[in-house]
Structure 1
Amino acid sequence: MQSIATQTRSIVYRTRGHSHGGITRLMSPSDLGESLKPFVFLDIFNMERPMLDAMRAGAGMSIHPHSGIATVTVLTEGRMKFDDPSSGTGTLSYGGVEWLRAGSGVWHGKELTPDNVSLVQGFQLWVALAPDLENGEPESRYIESEGIPSAGPARVILGEYAGVRSPTPAPAGMNYLLVTLKAGASWSYQPPAGHTVGWLAVAKGTLEAEASVRTGDMVIFEDGEVAITVQAGPGGDAVFVLASAIPHPHELHLGNYSVHTSAQALQTGEGRIEELRQRMVAAGSRRTSTGNVPVFR
């Protein structure tokens, strides 16, 4: 196996998070999110039977609200179906993305239903929004795997990398990549100017960076614009997400499911969430024939 480049970013922190069922929380707004903002939350999910059977039956994840953030769900294995009157129907597989800009408020949690597979794996990331977007009009979009472009081994989930731009309508100043490296292969990511925040999390396999990074690890790199260079271990392919960004300059004001830049913006968002809850209850069941419950906004 070839040695990695001499100059690479130092790892300053690593975590394996804490798990509940098939979901592992790697980052929350009240801990690592404060130093990695605009990235404020990260889950990796590994859902197997009977969890997938329960989700198909309408159980599993509960309907819950958000405001002030955008959520980005990307699959690394398996398939999930979406069915939404405003977005049509389709299937997300490796590299497929659900983008949900909650803005002024949404309720969601059951808009994706497992296909006939035995495992669904992926990441859900929250991105803190700037003041001009945090209480703006919500937007949701589903982008199937073939709609997410690649640059070398990387799928460009958010932002722009190596001249390839993601179709996801994310705010400027952040990149989020899904990368699969063949066993023993090396890859170097040069962040754009100003992208001093950098981290990665491994879904499968092992990476060599400054040190070994294993399946289930999330590592944070020192602030700076030095390239991040990694090499997949010899035992098999490595699958991971990597993100960089210009730091979010605003304070984080936290609600139960909301992240805003000020106490006033948080109050506005939570007020809107309550209004939506009342409307959603009055609307009754919205479950589609395929088992999904579309985002309420």
Structure 2
Amino acid sequence: MSLATLNPAPVVLSSPRPIVHRTRGRGHGPITRLMSPGDLGQALKPFVFLDLFEADPRMMAESMGIHPHSGIATITLLTQGDLRFDDPDAGQGTIGYGGVEWMRAGGGVWHGKELSAGASARIQGFQLWIALPPETENAPSESQYIPAEGIANVGPAHVILGQYEGVGSPVRAPAGVNYLLVTLRPGETWSYTPPAGHEAAWVAVASGKLQTTEALSGGDMAVFAPSQDRIIFSALGDQDAVFVLGSAAPHPHDLHMGYYSVHTSAEALVRGESRIAELGRALAEAGDRRTQSGSTPVFR
């Protein structure tokens, strides 16, 4: 018996679902923009925007200004480090790997400093926007801050939004949208079978090396061909592969875009932008709203 028989080479499985586009985005300081409503968001809606960020959280907080949104929800997810939240409606706590901030802008909010530095000297993570359906795009806003222990997992996948294999997220997101955070150990293989109707699918890698139809590494985003086929992932190399995966039923509406807003119609966009202008005037009158922890709660 040969040594090769005793120690066979690792087999890397290739996903049957082809990649139709890949990108490393555009970097600006600690933030890399992987997707915007005007480019990949048109093909992947309701997923319309994705940033990968990595920085000292104190420096990042200083560079982030308070800004408005309407018509969307933002999902902030950490892959390394932790951040604190301090909100009069949601209490205080910490989110780290596997935890999430969900902020449904709906009819309008101003935000950008509601998370402050935690115990870690460095953070890495993703901020995702999803376009809301007509029934909630101008509805009252809401926020949820859910620590890691509040997010269930299926094997290596934390179910951030939606439902997967009978496990649901506590986030009050629209139906038909899944968003998972996955870590695979070196050599580990995992497959994802999208729910019925989830034709749109993509992956973005935070760190490590990942094999699917093609080999990907930290900083890559890949878009899969519309299909119901499963997607197979394997971790390559000698470190964990950390990535996020999104799948959804296609958003059936055109995207009507303002500078910070995305809506399903011109009328809904006018309503959203009118509301955030009104909130902006009220915010200016409200003065300094910082908490003792240094955060500034969402203004709604």
Match of 1:82 among 64, 71, 85: 85
- 1:21 equivalent in alignment to 2:24: no
Given the two structures, how large is their TM-score scaled by the length of structure 1? Answer: 0.96
Match of 1:39 among 39, 44, 47: 47
Partner of 1:274: 277
Once the two structures are TM-superposed, the CA of residue 2 in structure 1 deviates from its matched residue by 2.3
Partner of 2:298: 295
Partner of 1:194: 197
Instruction: Give the whole-Å Cα distance in 1 for the aligned partners of 2:29 and 2:194.
Output: 35
SS state at 1:200 partner: strand
The amino acid across from 1:54 in the alignment is M
Over 3 Å counting, the alpha-carbon distance change for 1:256 and 1:236 in structure 2 is same
SS state at 2:53 partner: strand
Structure 1 residue ranges, 4+ long, deviating more than 4 angstroms after superposition: none
1:90–1:144: 8 Å Cα contact kept in structure 2? yes
SS state at 1:121 partner: strand
- 1:4 equivalent in alignment to 2:13: yes
Once the two structures are TM-superposed, the CA of residue 3 in structure 1 deviates from its matched residue by 2.8
**Unaligned segments of structure 2, at least 5 residues:** 1-9
The Cα offsets for residues 184-217 of structure 1, whole Å up to 9 and x where unpaired, read as 1000000001000000000010111111011100
Pairs within 5 Å for 1:1-297: 1-4=10-13, 8-48=16-56, 52-55=57-60, 59-297=62-300
Instruction: Give the whole-Å Cα distance in 1 for the aligned partners of 2:235 and 2:296.
Output: 39
The amino acid across from 1:24 in the alignment is T
Instruction: Give the whole-Å Cα distance in 2 for the aligned partners of 1:181 and 1:247.
Output: 28
The Cα offsets for residues 152-192 of structure 1, whole Å up to 9 and x where unpaired, read as 00000000011110001000001000000000100000000
Instruction: Give the whole-Å Cα distance in 1 for the aligned partners of 2:287 and 2:12.
Output: 59
Over 3 Å counting, the alpha-carbon distance change for 1:174 and 1:164 in structure 2 is same
Instruction: Give the whole-Å Cα distance in 1 for the aligned partners of 2:234 and 2:60.
Output: 36
Instruction: Give the whole-Å Cα distance in 1 for the aligned partners of 2:120 and 2:157.
Output: 24
The share of aligned pairs that are identical, in percent, is: 58
Once the two structures are TM-superposed, the CA of residue 124 in structure 1 deviates from its matched residue by 0.4
1:55–1:113: 8 Å Cα contact kept in structure 2? no
Given the two structures, how large is their TM-score scaled by the length of structure 2? Answer: 0.95
Aligned residue pairs total 291
**Unaligned segments of structure 1, at least 5 residues:** none
Instruction: Give the whole-Å Cα distance in 2 for the aligned partners of 1:236 and 1:38.
Output: 32
Instruction: Give the whole-Å Cα distance in 2 for the aligned partners of 1:111 and 1:229.
Output: 36
SS state at 2:136 partner: helix
